[in-house]
Amino acid sequence: MPLVPLEHLDEVREELVKASKSKHRRLLVIMGDDDSRLMATLLDFLYEVKDLIASEKVLYTYHSFYSDGSMRREFFEKGAPKDITIEYVSYHKLDTVLGRTYGACIADFINNLEPNDLGKIMGVVRGGGIYIFLMPTPNRLMSTVTRFQSNLIVPGYTDKDLKRYFEKRLLNKLMEHQGIAIYDADNRYWVKKFGQVASRLYEEPKLVFPEKSKIPLKVFRLAVTQDQVEVLKIIENFYSKAEKEKMIFVLTADRGRGKSSAIGIGVGWLAHRLRRAKGRCNIIVTSPSPSNVQEVFRFSRKVLELFKHEVDSHEDEEGFIHKVTAKGIEIEYVTPFEALRTRGDLLVVDEAASIPVPLLFKLLERYNKVIYSSTVHGYEGSGRGFTIRFLHRIRNEKGVKLYEYEMEEPIRYARDDPVERWTFDTLLLDAEPKELSQEDFSLIESQQVVYVAPDEEELFLKNEDELRQFFGIYVMAHYRNNPNDLGIMMDAPHHFVRMARLENGKIVVSMELAVEGNMDEDLCRESARGAWLMGNIIPDRVIKHYKILDFGKLKGIRVVRIATHISAMNKGLGSFALAKLEEEAKEKGFDWVGAGFGVTYELLRFWLKNGFVPVHMSPERNPVSGEYSIIVVKPLSEEAKKIVDVIAKEFKQKLLGSLASPYFDLEPEVALLLLEALPDPNPKLALSKLQLARFLTYAWSDMTVENCMDVFNMVTKHYFLSSSRPTLTEKQKLLLVSKILQAKSWRLTCDELNMTLTEATSLLKETAQTFSRHYLGIGSPTEAEKYFYLHVDKIEP
């Protein structure tokens, strides 16, 4: 006898039958605090609809870290129908299911509700299928500290300080949307029924294949939407040689449109044809994570097997395919930064919105054929900003044959799916800022902009229009956004938001901020010994690398993210918002404002322009972005100024000594910007007579620079450390960084600085002569000549 009344079971079945006719999905939320009732209710509903979902596997996701989560899974496994296939996946392994299709997904959110986990599962169920969420009752949800939330409670705060706006928003959105029902398992009643969902009978589209194509019909038949067919028709062009111009395909789509599988089909066919044409084929696939490209590999393999190739798939330790090989064929995954050091017949860049635009252009310089693809609205981040920023530049590039396509048709369910609509709305995946008119630009020019500290409850839970504007600016302006960003902003007790908006209410700058520091002596000592501290990113790095405990006791504000409306960049709005933040921070007794970011010339210049001081840079590049992470701080109190001055001087010394390694590949322009922004300790230049002799012989005679590189290095460091500096051109300074401090070869130096060897060697010798005049008081070959003829008894020991 089922626990759930028959009329309640019938209600879900009838709704799912209706959904299957329109190829839409439904979401059933089962809430309860009694685990046995919760699981019995789940099984009752599952048995009622099992015949409707049996054509595909059922995904069961749970938290294996919690004993009760594992117990619920065991209870379910024992009672589950034996005639359906169930796949059990713990949340920390969710990446392995991306791209797969299920008839239903059961998600146990009792112990933890992490926004990213929610985002990952919401695309895997086919039309006619159902999501079943297991959740605690609202009272319990709002009093439990989840795993996700526990990571947001930093020293100085407790679980009572959690804001919990994300959970409140989630509950509100479940109540608002149609196609979603909520059932109370403890009391066996509907909190909310599915409601009226606008739908129409789904008709399977008839695909139209090209009459003439190099791609055989059997390959086209692997496509399931017309969008995929159109993508294959574009990829067909990549079989021809890229001679006078580079070939680029920019493919965008919302999540679940089959872009990765379409690329995989095209890549498999290309590999087959190129192997036949020239005996071998090497295709490079890159993405922020190998999990993003599993469908590319799966479908590439499927096509190669269609052409009777003997194919091997190579997996990494986590079970992700990182290489597909056949005789004469290699399709291999590498990280975006590694892709700069490899070569291939074609480069596929998946989830390109999660990769910095400068790195995307560096990849384009290296490869003649590139396919860039990105999710427009998805848990991985938004590609809309990428599309605007990247395509705007690439359309103006000379020597480029550009193809563009945006896929719209979902592959697992029909358009206007209510569950997708709920997902996008709840996680703000499709949030966008308001469009700016000429009147708005006039307001910006006349500085009719106000700095706002919003009421967060009002912003996050009531003012949906303003929230979508606020978060939409991040979606457009940043290349990395995911649902956890939203969850942190809404729940973390030490995070808060500020904005700049026009007097008509349109938001033009969004800022997410975090309070850091105010650490006690014991915590500072833990950091100095190498312990990893929650939050407190800037104090932790400063203490770890400089051992100055005093900095940890100061109170500061870290700018987690600052973004300007993409249509209003370079109009001083970001600087305006920072200046207002500093005023507020001073009034409230904060000692510093700081930020950490992947260093690029443009970003660094922005922070330096606003008076921030670089204090630390990571010794390794981020494997995805290819950037070094840097921390900048603007001291507000006298105590902070004293400490920042000390560590900035030390950082300059360290940077000068580290440009050959580990910062050998740091862009010279960035290195120069850093060196010129840091304070000057003004040390003495102490050279022996023999060192002088070698340096002067290079400067004024015929010795090569390689014979006095050690001395030139000393003099160059003195130049950058001294406040007394002779005038040098930008090219000369960059030459000093690249050739002398980074010790690069002449070929690499000339390539990097776009100079001929003659120009570079001549400029460097002129620089040596300038140094000779300014620091050594020797301005001609005649004056230098006395150091060319030395006697041993005249040389100081």
Residue type, 196: Q
Q: Confirm or deny that 228 is annotated as ligand binding.
A: yes
Written in H, E and C, the secondary structure of 344-370 is: CCEEEECCHHHCCHHHHHHHHHHCCEE
User: Which residues are registered as beta bridge partners of 61?
Assistant: 89, 107
Strand duo 312-315 + 321-326: pairing: antiparallel
562 annotated to a ligand binding site: yes
Quickly count: other Cβ atoms within 10 Å of residue 745's Cβ. Answer: 10
User: Which H or E element spans position 104?
Assistant: strand 102-108
CA dihedral 95, 97, 103, 104 (to 10 degrees): -40
298 annotated ligand binder = no
* Cα–Cα dist 241/247, whole Å: 9
144 among annotated binding-site residues? no
Tell me the C-alpha distance between 489 and 163, whole Å.
9
Cβ atoms of 660 and 749 within 8 Å: the answer is no
Helices (H), 80-164: 115-121, 138-141, 147-150
369-375 sheet: strands from edge to edge: 312-315, 321-326, 329-334, 281-286, 346-349, 369-375, 246-253, 400-407
Q: Is residue 492 a known part of a binding site?
A: no
Residue 558 assigned ligand-binding role? no
Taking Cα atoms as reference points, which of 470, 474, 455 lies closest to residue 501?
470
| Residue 554 neighbours by CB under 8 Å, 6+ apart | 517, 518, 539, 591, 592, 637, 639, 640, 643
Alpha carbons 337 and 625: distance in angstroms, whole number: 7
How far apart, in whole angstroms, are the C-alpha atoms of residue 265 and residue 396?
A: 30
Residue that has been written with the tokens 């590439």 in this structure: 300
Backbone angles phi, psi at 712, to 5 degrees: -60, -35
Report which DSSP code applies to 704. Answer: -
Residue position matching structure tokens 């690499």 = 748
Q: Are 252 and 315 in contact (CB under 8 A)?
A: no
Which residues are annotated binding-site positions for acetyl-CoA?
Answer: 562-564, 602
Which residues are annotated binding-site positions?
Answer: 228, 412, 562-564, 602
Which residues are annotated binding-site positions for ATP?
Answer: 228, 412
